[in-house]
Amino acid sequence: MRARALQAMARGVRELSRRVGRSGGTTLPGRLLLRADPGALRTMGERLEAGSVLVSATNGKTTTAAMVAAVLEQAERPVVHNRAGSNMSWGVATALLDAGRERGQLGLLEVDEAWLPRVAQA
């Protein structure tokens, strides 16, 4: 119950950030959520019925993830994807706020190589 309330709060922060034009709303919601609930990545990731794919490397993450997302969307697969490129744990957390909204979702998450161990462990 607490986790769901915190996620709803993070969604609200994301929407407010986007409406105010301050940013794309990809950083602050995830930062706040992970501070209040360090296990949020795991909790939200478990809602991805088709599992998740992490794309990580020194170069080419955004391009590779975008190409994979295009293929999956063409195949009409529901995808949760951090398109904006916010690829640290808080950006992944913000993207995962949409996990579980559609049946059969797959997480396609671009992850900075320095953050890969933490995100993959979750």
pLDDT in tens, 46-99: 999 999 999 999 999 999 999 999 999 999 999 999 998 899 999 999 999 999
β-partners of residue 54 are 109
Residue 18: predicted pLDDT:
87
Write out the two tokens for 15: 């929407």
Residue 111: predicted pLDDT:
97
Q: What stretch of H or E contains 53? A: strand 52-55
Residue 34: predicted pLDDT:
97
**Of the candidates 65, 76, 74, the residue with the CA atom closest to the CA atom of residue 107:** 65
Cα Rg of the chain, angstroms: 14
Contact 28, 21 (CB under 8 A): no
Write out the two tokens for 51: 């599992």
Read off the pTM. Answer: 0.90
d(CA 102, CA 3): 19
81, 21, 38, 83 alpha-carbon torsion, rounded to 10°: 10
What residues make up the domain containing 33?
Answer: 2-121
Q: Looking at the 3D structure of the chain, how many domains does it have?
A: 1
Quick one: DSSP state of residue 17?
Answer: H
